[in-house]
Amino acid sequence: MTRIQKWFMIIAMWAVILFLMFAFYWMMIRPAKIRQMCAARAKRVSAESKGSVSAMLEINRAIYLDCLRCNGIEK
């Protein structure tokens, strides 16, 4: 292999590694953080509401699902 081919292989390997790292973040870490944030928001809002337990659960679920949709996660 010539020197240019070696550098091309090194750059190509780094590009693949960076792509895999970004894909892992986008598919695994980002959704987990969004779900945690939405769960905390829904818990906070439903705790502030005064009413029956079933109403609180309904509010919690509605806020959680709305937060997920607003952040780009379907469910």
Task: Say what the pTM is.
Answer: 0.75
Q: Is pLDDT above 70 for 75?
A: no
The predicted-structure confidence for 27-64, as pLDDT tens digits, reads as follows: 999 999 999 999 999 999 888 877 788 888 888 999 99
Which pLDDT score is estimated for 21? 97
For the chain, domain boundaries: 3-70
Which pLDDT score is estimated for 49? 78
For residues 31-59, b (16+ Cβ closer than 10 Å) or e, as one string? eeebeeebeeebeebbeeeeeeeeebeeb
Tokens representing 27 are: 């598919």
The predicted-structure confidence for 9-24, as pLDDT tens digits, reads as follows: 999 999 999 999 999 9
Which pLDDT score is estimated for 42? 93
